[in-house]
């Protein structure tokens, strides 16, 4: 019997989630609660309904369709979260895309059927399929099954992971994964817990396990001003990477952005970093150069 999982999006022709042209499969559920997360719809492993106010025409079809009376009319319609059961009747009734369903139960075969359609692009670019999230390895059985199908078809595989998962999850996908994109967020354990809800102890241990296993990896770091951007933070992260004795593994900086803030509004959730400013490009370059001077190959995500 095949596995199934809640999928929030399958994004084709992606060029930032691994080598070449890729299809990125976003799975729901994550053990972390990073304050800068750009995909809040994927934090929980459950269907959620979002409301995009700018798309609403005030037609009232959603309120008529909702069996729980969870649509509150007014100048701007919104969802009564205490009543909403995420049945998505309102989404189906909305003609204008103002109501959005985050999460669809899909089998491995259904997902594979979608991603295999672009195999010609993978073959010509050295690309393939990437699983992301959320944290895709919350669904390690699903990922392993999907990757096994991909391998049988000669499709490349990549995992984007925060590393805060059981060792057994990594072991399950390791033989089937061509490359891991692995987050190193904050070097200090206490600060890591403050900003993500979890210590980084398991994350660092799993990073060491993968490197010692010979996995092909790229470390990535969301660069958050005032959180992990100090010289002390950089030196601590560089020291950890050097301690792995894998000079072939580079670090990619992902400068903080605000592209996910609209999703927080759609989910009626507060975005706690609302006042945080974008880091100027020259400051990002200074940090990149510091990593290089400390013996870590470092680039900046486009």
Predicted confidence (pLDDT) per residue in 246-275, tens digit: 999 999 999 999 888 999 999 999 999 988
Residue 173 scores a pLDDT above 90: yes
| Of 302 and 301, the one with more pLDDT | 301
- Give 8's DSSP letter: E
Q: Where are any strands of DSSP class E within the chain?
A: 4-14, 22-27, 48-51, 71-72, 78-79, 99-102, 104-107, 128-132, 156-161, 179-183, 217-223, 251-255, 298-300
State the Cα–Cα distance between residues 209 and 167, nearest whole angstrom. 8
Distances from the Cα of 82 to the Cαs of 32, 48, 287, in angstroms?
24, 13, 45
Model confidence band, residue 75 (pLDDT cutoffs 50, 70, 90): low
Supply the range of the domain harboring residue 241: 4-45+104-300
Q: Say whether pLDDT at 27 is over 70.
A: yes
Q: Which of 72, 102, 132 is the last residue of a domain?
A: 102
Please, which pLDDT band fits residue 73 given cuts at 50, 70 and 90? confident
Report how many domains make up the chain. Answer: 2
Q: Which residue has the tokens 């995992």?
A: 159
Same domain, 92 and 112: no
Q: Which residue reads 């369903």 in tokens?
A: 101
Give yes or no for residue 1 having a pLDDT over 60: no
Question: Do 177 and 89 sit in the same domain of this protein?
Answer: no
Residues 278 and 207 occupy one common structural domain: yes
pLDDT category at 5 given cuts 50, 70, 90 is very high
What is the pLDDT at residue 104?
Answer: 96
Distances (CA, A) of 190 to 66, 152, 197, 227: 44, 43, 10, 12
Length of the chain: 302
DSSP character at residue 178: S
pLDDT at 78: 81
With contact defined as beta carbons under 8 Å apart, do 165 and 205 qualify? Answer: no
Per residue in 176-230, pLDDT (tens digit) is 999 999 999 999 999 999 999 999 999 999 999 999 999 999 999 999 999 999 9
Whether residues 88 and 23 share a domain: the answer is no
pTM for the model = 0.94
Do 32 and 90 lie in one domain? The reply is no
CATH number for 70:
3.30.70.20
* pLDDT attached to residue 76: 63
pLDDT at 274: 87
Residue 302 pLDDT class (50, 70, 90 cuts): confident
Given a cut of 90, whether residue 77 has pLDDT beyond it is: no
CATH number at residue 205: 3.20.20.70
pLDDT at residue number 11 = 95
pLDDT band of residue 122 (cuts 50, 70, 90) is very high
Domain boundary among 102, 121, 140: 102
Mean pLDDT of the chain: 95
Please indicate, yes or no, whether residues 31 and 73 belong to a single structural domain of this protein: no
């Amino acid at each position: 019997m095949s596995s199934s999982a809640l999928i929030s999006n399958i994004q084709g022709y992606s060029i930032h989630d691994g080598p070449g042209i890729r299809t990125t499969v976003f799975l729901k559920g994550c053990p972390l609660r990073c304050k800068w997360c750009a995909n809040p719809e994927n934090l929980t492993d459950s269907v959620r309904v979002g409301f995009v106010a700018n798309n609403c025409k005030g037609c009232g079809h959603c309120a008529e369709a909702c069996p729980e009376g969870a649509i509150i009319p007014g100048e701007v319609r919104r969802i009564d979260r205490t009543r909403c059961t995420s049945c998505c009747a309102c989404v189906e009734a909305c003609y204008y895309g103002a109501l959005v369903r985050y999460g669809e139960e899909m089998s491995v075969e259904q997902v594979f059927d979608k991603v295999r359609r672009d195999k010609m692009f993978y073959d010509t670019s050295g690309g393939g399929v990437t699983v992301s999230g959320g944290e895709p390895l919350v669904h390690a059985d699903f990922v392993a099954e999907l990757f096994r199908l991909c391998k049988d078809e000669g499709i490349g595989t990549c995992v984007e992971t925060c590393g805060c998962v059981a060792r057994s999850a990594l072991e399950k996908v390791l033989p089937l994964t061509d490359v891991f994109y692995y987050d190193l967020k904050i070097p200090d354990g206490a600060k890591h817990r403050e900003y993500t809800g979890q210590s980084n102890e398991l994350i660092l241990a799993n990073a060491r396990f993968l490197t010692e296993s010979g996995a092909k990896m790229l470390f990535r770091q969301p660069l958050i001003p005032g959180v992990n951007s100090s010289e002390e933070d950089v030196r601590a992260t560089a020291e950890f990477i050097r301690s792995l004795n894998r000079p072939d593994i580079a670090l990619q900086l992902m400068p903080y952005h605000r592209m996910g803030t609209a999703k927080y509004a759609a989910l009626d959730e507060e975005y706690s970093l609302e006042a945080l400013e974008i880091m100027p490009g020259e400051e990002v370059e200074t940090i990149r150069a510091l990593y290089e001077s400390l013996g870590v190959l470092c680039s900046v995500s486009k």
